[in-house]
Structure 1
Amino acid sequence: MVFGLITLSTMVPTIIGLNQATQNTRDSEEERRDSARRQRCNLIAICDEREGTLEQRRQVHNAKVYLGPDGNLYLTKTPVAGFSPFNGRFFQHPLFAPDNMAGFVTLTEEEPPMLRWVFVDADTHECRWGGRQDSEGHVCGPYNWTKDEQRITLQGWEGWLAVRRPDDEEREQEERGLGIAEGQGIWRLYFDEHDDGADLHPDSQVLEICLQRVPAES
């Protein structure tokens, strides 16, 4: 019995030390994750090789997300005048629990530069950016990342779509004079919130995509 008490007494400091080490590791990992979520990133579209046609995939795969001057988000490899790269990060949002990082913001090229909310239009399902009043009543989160911390999720999944509406071809004809080359399409970014096709026009071109985080260039 005495031997058992002596053995136990020698083990207690070791157990306490292991618990402290485990807690310190958890704290360090949490700090790392919080720091990573605060780092600004650009967004790149990743398209599965089974999606769409070869030409569509060529336009969408590795295309960067841009802020359009109309408040919408676009995907393209050849931005036109008025487009600025998405440059954002996770951010606390008042709609969610205290100390959350479930919102998403982007730094704009306004003068002076501003942080603007990234949200999904509740009626059209198109991804947009704007001020607090612009985002009210729309889908503002919760945003998160995948387990590998590489891709963006919204409401727990990756329902992102690259979309070209029937009227986009005519719009691009006009924008080619502003720098877009023939065959280098501009796609709209949508989120299929209810996994039902996002109520898109039947003649729309649609590709399912992922949004990959890459360190912001500036």
Structure 2
Amino acid sequence: MSNELTFLVAFATVYGASEAIKHIQSDARRKEHRSRKNNLIVRCLKSCEYSSILEGRRVVLSGDKLYIDTGTHHAQDFGHPFAGYYLAYPDSNASGLVSTICDEPPIMNWIYVDRWSYEMKFGNRSWADDNFPIPWDCSRQDRRLTFGGWEGFLAVKEGDFWALYFDLDEDHLKSKVAEGTPVLEIELIRVEMRMPKPQPPPPEDKEKADEKADEKAEVAADANGPNSANDANGADAANGANGANGANDANGGVNGHSGPDKADGSTYQKGAYATPPEEPLESPAVD
């Protein structure tokens, strides 16, 4: 019985640890996804005379509102493409939605729903605070954009343009737009931004290159320092040996076995150059 109980406790511990790891990994993936910049693409819910114009078009920012880029003027860019992500809204537990409003510099603004007109707009925090800046989220499967926990996005024709609204009253904006104005139900799909070609690193200026070269030279000098010391000690030892040999050669000259150095400086591979003796030396006895 005790063995079974031990097994059950061990199994529960391992299972609980495994589930905790899965939850942490899932939460990390969710946060990473929500903090990644995305574009917004329009998808029409029903087929109509305008769906071919709006389907697959991207959302852009212009003035202070969000529009659908229908490409009416192909030679001229219309607005700044939505490039945003979820960000915790200050002084709240809900997620806000931000987007760049220009590329250089990459200034970010909050996306919000206008309190009175229900238009989708963008601006700084003071503008967002006066309207409906939260809560933004996305659907679990397709990652479609949601606001307040549901999808009530509408495309409204304003002259030659299509603006984005949110149907807060669920009445297709009957009290907000003139009668007869085309109003279409749409979904906003979050899609990953296109990956541009990476830019090559900027060339280093001459000063930095010289500094790096000096650092490398110092490192090389430090690395060779002990060897250099050994070489110096070796040279001293060699000089000492040569000095002793020179002294022996001098003594040999006195004894008549060797002469002075040739040309006062020439050397021989086995020591100082010596002249042969005037008389042959006596050969050693052979046993």
TM-score after normalising by structure 2: 0.63
- Distance in 2 (CA, whole Å) between partners of 1:5 and 1:81 is 75
4+ residue runs of structure 1 moved beyond 6 angstroms? none
1:140 paired residue number: 133
CA distance in 2, matches of 1:17, 1:201: 63
CA contact (8 A) 2:59 2:81 kept: yes
**1:94 Cα deviation from its structure 2 partner:** 1.8
Is the Cα–Cα contact under 8 Å of residues 59 and 76 in structure 1 kept in the other structure?
Answer: no
Shift of 1:202: 1.1
Distance 1:206 1:95 in 2: 35
User: 8 Å contact 2:60–2:78 — kept in the other structure?
Assistant: no
TM-score, normalisation: structure 1 = 0.82
Name the CA distance, whole Å, in 1 between partners of 2:43 and 2:191: 12
- In the alignment, the residues of structure 1 paired with residue 7 and residue 88 of structure 2 have an alpha-carbon distance, to the nearest angstrom, of 46
The answer on whether the counterparts of 2:118 and 2:168 sit within 8 Å (CA) in structure 1 is: yes
* One of 55, 62, 66 as aligned partner of 1:61: 55
Could you tell me which residue of structure 2 aligns to residue 216 of structure 1?
A: 193
Deviation for aligned residue 1:147: 1.6
- Alpha-carbon separation, structure 1, partners of 2:169 and 2:135: 15
Which residue identity lines up with residue 112 of structure 2 in the other structure? F
Residue equivalent to 1:46:
43
Shift of 1:197: 2.2
Relative contact order higher in (CA < 8 Å, ≥ 6 apart): 1
Please point out which of 154, 164, 175 is paired with 1:189: 164
Structure with the higher fraction of residues in helix conformation? 2
Query: Does structure 1 conserve the Cα–Cα contact (< 8 Å) formed by 2:69 and 2:78?
Result: no
Task: Name structure 2 gaps, 5 residues minimum.
Answer: 196-287
1:15 counterpart residue number? 12
| Helix, strand or coil at the partner of 2:85 | strand
Indicate yes or no: 2:120 matched with 1:123: no
User: Separation in 2 of the partners of 1:59 and 1:126?
Assistant: 20
Determine the C-alpha separation between the residues in 1 that align with 2:68 and 2:38: 15
User: Is the 8 Å Cα contact of residues 104 and 143 (structure 1) preserved in structure 2?
Assistant: yes
Letter matched to residue 141 of structure 1: I
C-alpha distance in structure 1 between counterparts of 2:79 and 2:151, whole Å? 24
Contact 1:42 1:217 in 2 (8 A): no
The alignment status of 1:87 with 2:83, answered yes or no, reads yes
Cα displacement string for residues 95-125 of structure 1 (whole angstroms, at most 9, x for unaligned residues):
522xx4x100001216422110001111111
In the superposition, relative to structure 1, how do residues 212 and 141 fare at CA in structure 2: closer, same or farther (>3 Å)? Answer: same
Sequence identity, in percent?
27
Distance 2:139 2:132 in 1: 19
Does residue 77 of the first structure (1) align with residue 70 of the second (2)? yes
Partner AA of 2:16 in structure 1? N
- Provide the secondary structure at the position in 1 that maps to 2:155: strand
Partner of 2:179: 202
In structure 1, what is the Cα distance between the partners aligned to 2:103 and 2:180? 35
Give the structure 1 partner of residue 92 of structure 2: 96
Aligned residues of 1:164 and 1:206 also touching (Cα < 8 A): yes
Aligned partner of 2:157 among 142, 159, 164: 164
Aligned mates of 1:213, 1:81 — CA distance in 2: 21
SS in 1 for 2:180: coil
Amino acid corresponding to residue 192 of structure 1 in structure 2? D
Match of 2:145 in 1: 152
CA RMSD of aligned residues (A): 1.6
Q: In structure 2, do the counterparts of structure 1 residues 81 and 6 end up closer, same or farther at CA, with 3 Å as the change threshold?
A: closer
Secondary structure at the residue paired with 2:17? helix
Give the unaligned 5+ runs of structure 1. 173-185
